[in-house]
Structure 1
Amino acid sequence: MPRKSTARLAALTVAAVCSTVSGVVLTTPAHADSVRIHDIQGTTRLSPLAGQKVTDVAGIVTGVRAYGSSKGFWIQDPTPDDDPATSEGIFVFTGSAPKTAVGDSVTVTGTVSEYVPGGTSSGNQSVTEITRPTVTVLSGGNPVPAPVVIDAQTVPAEYAPAGDTAANGSINGLTLEPATYALDYYESLEGMNVQVADARVVTASNRYSELWVTVKPHEHANRRGGTVYGSYRSQNTGRLQIQSLGPAADFPTADVGDTLTGTTTGPLDYNQYGGYTLDATEIGALKSGGLQRETTRKQGRGELAVATYNVENLDPSDSTFEAHASAIVNNLQSPDIVSLEEIQDNNGATDDGTVDASQTVDKLIDAIVAAGGPHYDWRSIDPVNDQDGGQPGGNIRQVFLFNPQRVSFTDRPGGDSTTAVGVTEVHGKARLTVSPGRIDPAGEAWKDSRKPLVGEFVFRGRTVFVIANHFASKGGDQALHAQYQPPTRGSETQRHLQAAEVHAFVEDILDTQKNADVIALGDINDFEFSDTAKILEGDGELWSAIKSLRKSERYTYDYQGNSQVLDQILVSPSIRRGCDVDYDSVHINSEFHDQISDHDPQVLRFRP
């Protein structure tokens, strides 16, 4: 069938009034003449026939989704046009378990719709679908159209075009350039049968039966098999999410560095949990890459070891205490000071006003002792109930563990959930007004977010100031694959305010005592190259120690195929310029399917 002209498509388009229902953009139905799938898909992300009724759209069923909230099937035209921008596949939304099978030759009559996974407020792209379908099965057992092979040669190096400024930065109305941009290339295959071969896993499988692979094995690769996200322009175009249309029990249990050998084949979908996704009808055999959890070295007698570790909503009901204890004792080698993030109160997410976390912390300390570690002492400040964000009722907070055989804590009374810590000068030395204390807990920067915990420690006669942080999360940011390019990172506004507050507090210490040893650490929820990190670092008052690593080794977290930095340890000039400063991001969680936290801990060793 020859390619329909632009004039022909325009004649089929009828003006209509748009509305949004449950993330599905519909228009008042209007009839369109018999069309092919590529006419429905068109040359942009939005169908030129959106809102119109189409009749007897022909195709071969390539995949069936009989689970979840988006039940339906994919069809593909076995006779494609010659335009690489137009997809030959489309999803037919049935709403209930489809009665079709792979290989069926069908015709579909229904309404063309644009569905936005996650809702229009998410900023995500849309999926072109046929809804309210009437399906006629003409025959069964037909050959499925051969899959399009997605590999390093076919996926462009550039990720996305710049959005149309006249459309608030949206790329929806731009003509697809599949030979130039990766997002355009994937969009040009939306709904089509595709295939990857011998693809390396770059995000481990999770409880939702999802994993990520790369079709570009050399793209920003690290030595452990992942793909590093090193700048806002390093989106890593070879990443692709893999799900399965088969039983969840058959989904591979994979770690980073494993390989799906052979071929993985199925329709190319788009969802809110990762963007373009291969929904596999056939999935490759898993070959283990043999990835092992790392162990850092033990600190020397004259070295102070300071660590940060997000233990992911730890509360007394969890089953992970022994594993966390083993990680601290064996993988981290029992650091002298451990800043813990996401310690919940004594009854976890039960929202009954409880804020005390002594049972949670004591249970972890007991587990550490049982694992052969030191009997840590601890300091923290209980938050005001439900004022610090996180899981409702959980009251997460930062906690200092410290080994009293190696380091002492300087207690100064008066620190509580609402009192701001300050800096004073005594005999030419900086000291905290309260210890432990919290930075400006009533400040706007910390609204519905964790307030920094500050403590004053002494190691071998030298005072060390430690600031434990857990900045505002990235929740609500537009995804890398959003229709808006570049995507909006709205959450960083609060992190910038938080970084400025912490930096100002560090300046107060250094203005009081130029050579003070100061460490700001924790879950910063932002990258080492971000403006958040730049604000924290200032004019050299702090320096993120992860920058001491090669760029290919800079990561503490793994998200949607990108190994990236969220956790940081920043140090003052007196520490940075000292002898034998040693930083290690210890990879024990983020790359593994059986992780006990989604963050990797870090350790800094230095000689005060």
Structure 2
Amino acid sequence: MILALILVLLPANMQSAYAAGPVVFINEIHYDNTGTDTGEAVEIAGPAGTDLSGWSVVLYNGNNGAVYDTDALSGTIPDLGGGHGVVVLTYPSNGLQNGAPDGIALVQGSTVVQFLSYEGSFTAVGGPADGMLSVDIGVSQSGSGAVGNSLQLTGTGTGYDDFSWVGEAANTFGTFNTGQTFGVVSPIVVINEIDYDQPSTDMAEFIELKNTGSVPADLSLFHLDLVNGSGGTVYLSIPLPAVELAVGGYFVICASSATTALCDLDISPDSNLIQNGAPDAVALYYDGMLIDAVSYEGDTAAPFTEGSGAGLVDDGASATGGISRCEDGVDTNQNNVDFVAAEITPGAVNACAPPPPVEMCVLPDTPIYAVQGSGPVAAISGVVTVQGVVVGDFEGPSPQLRGFYLQEITGDGDPATSDGIFVFNGGSEQVNLGEVVQVTGTAMEFQDQTQIGSVSSVEICDATASVEAVEVTLPVPSLDYLEQFEGMLVHFPQTLYVTEHFQLGRFGQVVLSADDRLKQPTNIVLPGADALAMQAANNLNRIILDDSTNNQNPDPIIFGDNGMPLSASNTLRGGDSATGITGVLTYTWAGNAASGNAYRIRPLNAMDGYVWFDINNPRPEAAPERSGRLRVTSMNLLNFFNTFNDGNAGTPGCFPSGLDSDCRGAESEFEFERQWAKTVQAMLDSQADVIGVVEIENDGYGPDSALQFLVDRLNDAAGAGTFAFIDVDTATGQMNALGTDAIKVGMLYRPAMVTPVGNTAVLNTVEFVNGGDADPRNRPALAQAFEEVGTGAQFVVSVNHLKSKGSACETADALDGQGNCNIVRLNAANALTAWLAADPTGTGQPDALIMGDLNSYALEDPIRAIEDAGYTNLLAAYHGDEAYSYVFDGQWGYLDHALATAGMTAQVVAVNEWHINADEPSVLDYNTNFKSEAQITSLYAPDQFRISDHDAILVDIDPDFMAPDIEIVLSHRQLWPPNHQYVTVTADVIVNDNLDPNPLIELVEVLSSEPDDGLGDGDTPNDIVILDDFTFDLRAERSAQGPGRWYKIKYRVTDFAGNVSYHTAAVFVPKNQKK
């Protein structure tokens, strides 16, 4: 038969009346658009009810002709109208390559139904279309078209050739294309079995037909011709009755129903009905058109032979032998392929004998270690045959890895050569773990991993086996050390710690390290040689743990604590650990350049694969218990905006441009409700009295501002008036006093605990903001003095946000570990301490806390400059090298600081980082994008965890309100005799302060109750001579008319909290000797 699926390959006079070209065909394609390619898909059209089991779509790269993806189809085609329908195969972003050229093959079993291409033609290398030249569809996508466009077939008909490809238009995936109409589906009937010769007189001859289509067949539209092979003449024409032949049904035409079982149409003559060949043929017509022909015992003249005639002989010595299609009903339009000699089964499934067993895995193979070699690339390239045991099965369509890892059962014992290799089979499901497999394909490097691609043969050997995982430990001795284990089953016996989970939500991966989490070098060693050496060591002490796919935004996210998937209630925190991980060591990406090629251990779908996370760093049940009378906190809010980038030009955008492009944070009201609920919970639970915030929307202080919104929500929860904020613009009289960036710093406080006093001060000078560059870099700093309610004790808080390391400044990165913009931050730090020393609040209060995100680690230049100005790094003082508030690139340190003047340091009673953010995976935040509907619920809780990427810093203080005690001990309390001579008097000022061991002692004045009396002894004009603050020459004289003379010596003592005491001591000169 000339099956409708492949009619396009046949001569015109043998075309079916039913359809032009394949009836199951590629109907719509989207492979390219502007920006990241999204929504890519291939649509298949065909008769409704067509079973797609065994069908597949194979993607070919046009540059090398190789297969890069294979995806199995399943189910049946639905009826969308006219007896036809479509199914859609979708791909992840950039799943379809962008041409010049690339191709798509539609395959049934192993038969290529179509091999189409776009942006040119090419010849396939390997796979089902091996050696075939693709057919260019003639239209393409430029890469500048809109997301949602596609290439489509239009027209009217039932087969592929009835339609025409048109250029980009809005896609119609899942429905018929625009301008496409399907007609009625016609039946497909084949000649399925013939018995034309028996012993002696032929008394039991028959022809069997089968309906292999998707709709019933009215046989009155068909007729059979029996053709003599000598001249190609018809010697008998057989019309068929008006019988409806069901889908899959058989119809038998026989010479005698008495001698043929299940005969449906008994015709004459009763004997010698069908000629005996050498050659002869049977032809089947539909509505006058030849649709199937079977030539036996040679080739009958055209058009009565499909391919080559069946060289089979219906053995006349057997009463039960004939020629049958094997497999039953299958038509490749090759008589000599489709028909075999078999026992006859008229009216039933053909008795196709199973093929003889094939001896497997007999080809000589090349050892995998020989292919791998001892270098970074394959030692052998080109076509090879390898054999080994499957140690990792990652088969299946994308986002699976589309292949499996094969390892030599017995390696070569050379530690420099890997015994494992990846086999890329394009998504086919061919093997299972533990099976011994022989593979023939092309050895090559793909993304720097050695693999076998363009696979032509995968044979399952009659054996299973196992291998022992090789032990690997961290740190490794060199960056290329793991190359020798690429593709092998490995075991990490150590306890490994979660040192990064930034990409856990996007790619399902975690970075692990040995001994502990990795520390940020410049947090604990000086920049330069020490930091670079520590960084080099860190680089050797990390491995990626990945799931079994290259999927983005997986659901579920496999890696959570205690063997359960990640959720809002089952997190995976930094410092949690896993011991004894076993898996396959791969060198791949995660499916996107955002997580590029790297060594990864994949325990899932690996032989004896194992990973289990233990909780080493449990979530804090509450904020650290408050130790002081007051708590000052800084929080990075990670873009708290109540204006959204909603993509609507008719709604307001964000400051300063008024455009959506300046908006950050939540992208919808729904997301914002989730964000503020978490933020408010964290602020309330922090028990803070003063909160310095970083990264809040810079939209003023009005009723619709983000700052007012936040305070309103806090007061809704805590009670009216519980919180207030500093309106910086009103207090300073400056518009946009805190700058014109999209974000700013801010300050909240509890009026019941503290009262703002003095000037609200802003450091927004060019010197500070630009940091030496021509353009602004740092956000302006805010300083406010507060007075404790009830004691009157005062202190100053400064909130800051210095330039990040993520973008370049005018001075290039010194490559000493401090990152970009270090000089800008250093200049700002110096300007900040000088400004605070100049009493910007006008209170005279020297006690100050510098807080906020300084974007500098503990031993970097800006922090050391602040310490050089007399400040104490409180986190270092209280927590040493273990302090952290932030993780970047898997390395932990703190950019969020609390630095105190000497006086303020003495008033600090506790300092804590509240680890509610940095330890938590970012996917547990409020965002909804890139999450499934289920994950929007399961990964969110309205609690304090993961409101930001920075931890809050909590400083508990007991502000000093007690003035120093003073005692003055004088060397002389009286001067006698009044002989007009100087007496040297010394003062010993004894001070006691509750906190300050060295308060400031100042001489205020030395006064006399009588005026100077002219020149005295020694011709000195002054009765009082101050030699220093504690030594004085006082003249022993007094007026004869007075009661005596008093000298009064007054001191002022100031502690570092600014508390002041005054005290006066007196020296008396009596009038007479009556003492």
Question: Smaller-chain TM-score range?
Answer: 0.5 to 0.7
Q: 1-side partners of 2:881 and 2:903: how far apart? A: 27
- Amino acid across the alignment from 1:155: L
C-alpha contact (below 8 Å) 1:355/1:384 kept by paired residues: no
The 5 Å alignment of 1:585-600 reads 585-593=913-921, 594=924, 595-600=946-951
From the superposition, tell whether residues 57 and 359 of structure 1 become closer, same or farther in structure 2 (CA, over 3 Å). farther
Q: Out of 71, 78, 83, which is 2:414 matched to?
A: 83
Secondary structure (helix, strand or coil) at the match of 2:639 reads strand
Cα displacement (A) at 1:582: 2.6
| Matched residue, 2:747 | 400
From the superposition, tell whether residues 600 and 80 of structure 1 become closer, same or farther in structure 2 (CA, over 3 Å). same
Q: Deviations for 1:294-316, whole angstroms, at most 9, x for unmatched residues?
A: 52233533x4x322212223333
| Matched residue, 1:310 | 636
Q: Deviations for 1:547-581, whole angstroms, at most 9, x for unmatched residues?
A: 113445311124565443232222333323x2444
C-alpha contact (below 8 Å) 1:149/1:194 kept by paired residues: yes
- Amino acid across the alignment from 2:641: D
- Amino acid across the alignment from 2:454: P
TM-score w.r.t. the length of structure 2 is 0.39
| 1:74 maps onto 2:429 in alignment | no
- Amino acid across the alignment from 2:822: R
- Amino acid across the alignment from 2:510: L
Secondary structure (helix, strand or coil) at the match of 1:605 reads strand
Secondary structure (helix, strand or coil) at the match of 2:764 reads coil
Secondary structure (helix, strand or coil) at the match of 1:342 reads strand
Structure 2's unaligned 5+ residue stretches are 1-93, 95-364, 526-530, 562-571, 643-668, 730-734, 809-813, 925-945, 960-1056, 1058-1075
From the superposition, tell whether residues 539 and 345 of structure 1 become closer, same or farther in structure 2 (CA, over 3 Å). closer
Secondary structure (helix, strand or coil) at the match of 1:598 reads coil
| 1:516 maps onto 2:516 in alignment | no
| Matched residue, 2:681 | 326
From the superposition, tell whether residues 488 and 261 of structure 1 become closer, same or farther in structure 2 (CA, over 3 Å). same
From the superposition, tell whether residues 198 and 492 of structure 1 become closer, same or farther in structure 2 (CA, over 3 Å). closer
| Matched residue, 1:112 | 444
From the superposition, tell whether residues 300 and 448 of structure 1 become closer, same or farther in structure 2 (CA, over 3 Å). same
Q: Out of 594, 609, 624, which is 1:296 matched to?
A: 624
| Matched residue, 1:604 | 955
Secondary structure (helix, strand or coil) at the match of 1:297 reads coil
Q: Out of 755, 760, 785, which is 1:457 matched to?
A: 785
Q: 1-side partners of 2:426 and 2:737: how far apart? A: 45
- Amino acid across the alignment from 2:584: G
| 1:368 maps onto 2:714 in alignment | yes
- Amino acid across the alignment from 1:492: G
Q: Which has the larger displacement, 449-458 or 584-593?
A: 449-458
| Matched residue, 1:339 | 692
- Amino acid across the alignment from 1:329: L
Secondary structure (helix, strand or coil) at the match of 1:202 reads strand
Q: 1-side partners of 2:395 and 2:697: how far apart? A: 39
The 5 Å alignment of 1:200-599 reads 201-203=497-499, 206-208=504-506, 209-214=508-513, 216=514, 219=515, 221=516, 228-229=519-520, 230-231=524-525, 232=531, 233=534, 235=538, 239-245=542-548, 248-249=555-556, 251-254=558-561, 255-256=572-573, 258-260=576-578, 263-269=581-587, 271=589, 273=595, 275-281=598-604, 282-289=609-616, 291-293=618-620, 294-298=622-626, 300-301=628-629, 303=630, 305-316=631-642, 317=669, 318=672, 319-330=674-685, 332-334=686-688, 336-344=689-697, 359-372=705-718, 374-379=722-727, 388=741, 395-409=742-756, 421=764, 440-442=768-770, 445=773, 449-459=777-787, 460=792, 462=794, 464-474=796-806, 492-510=819-837, 516-534=846-864, 536-537=865-866, 539-551=868-880, 553-559=882-888, 562-576=891-905, 578-593=906-921, 594=924, 595-599=946-950
Q: 2-side partners of 1:383 and 1:53: how far apart? A: 67
Q: Deviations for 1:502-558, whole angstroms, at most 9, x for unmatched residues?
A: 223313433679983343322233422334533x43624444221113445311124
Q: 1-side partners of 2:697 and 2:430: how far apart? A: 47
C-alpha contact (below 8 Å) 2:770/2:778 kept by paired residues: no
C-alpha contact (below 8 Å) 2:633/2:953 kept by paired residues: yes
- Amino acid across the alignment from 2:485: L
From the superposition, tell whether residues 441 and 323 of structure 1 become closer, same or farther in structure 2 (CA, over 3 Å). same
- Amino acid across the alignment from 1:78: I
Cα displacement (A) at 1:58: 4.5
Structure 1's unaligned 5+ residue stretches are 1-21, 23-33, 116-126, 157-177, 347-353, 389-394, 423-437, 477-486
C-alpha contact (below 8 Å) 2:635/2:693 kept by paired residues: yes
Cα displacement (A) at 1:187: 3.8
Cα displacement (A) at 1:472: 0.8
| Matched residue, 2:938 | none
C-alpha contact (below 8 Å) 1:265/1:283 kept by paired residues: yes
Percent identity of paired positions between Structure 1 and Structure 2? 20
Higher relative contact order (CA 8 A, sep 6+): 1
- Amino acid across the alignment from 1:83: D
| 1:147 maps onto 2:461 in alignment | no
Q: 2-side partners of 1:276 and 1:384: how far apart? A: 50
C-alpha contact (below 8 Å) 2:745/2:782 kept by paired residues: no
Cα displacement (A) at 1:62: 2.8
| Matched residue, 1:174 | none
Q: Which has the larger displacement, 93-102 or 545-554?
A: 93-102
Q: Deviations for 1:261-317, whole angstroms, at most 9, x for unmatched residues?
A: 67542334454649532122234345545713152233533x4x3222122233334
Secondary structure (helix, strand or coil) at the match of 2:412 reads coil
Q: 1-side partners of 2:902 and 2:578: how far apart? A: 46
Aligned-CA RMSD value: 4.4
| Matched residue, 1:19 | none
C-alpha contact (below 8 Å) 2:822/2:861 kept by paired residues: no
Q: Deviations for 1:48-88, whole angstroms, at most 9, x for unmatched residues?
A: 659x5453354444331654496544333333333323333
Q: 2-side partners of 1:365 and 1:587: how far apart? A: 23
Secondary structure (helix, strand or coil) at the match of 1:492 reads coil
Cα displacement (A) at 1:584: 1.0
Which structure has the greater CA radius of gyration? 2
Q: 2-side partners of 1:604 and 1:407: how far apart? A: 15
From the superposition, tell whether residues 414 and 475 of structure 1 become closer, same or farther in structure 2 (CA, over 3 Å). closer
Q: Deviations for 1:455-489, whole angstroms, at most 9, x for unmatched residues?
A: 2323346351504114314479xxxxxxxxxx957
Q: 2-side partners of 1:270 and 1:77: how far apart? A: 21
The 5 Å alignment of 1:41-80 reads 41-43=372-374, 46-47=376-377, 53=382, 55-63=384-392, 64=394, 66=396, 67-68=398-399, 71-80=402-411
- Amino acid across the alignment from 1:333: Q
C-alpha contact (below 8 Å) 1:201/1:211 kept by paired residues: no
Q: Deviations for 1:324-374, whole angstroms, at most 9, x for unmatched residues?
A: 2222222x212x32222222467xxxxxxx999954323322332244373
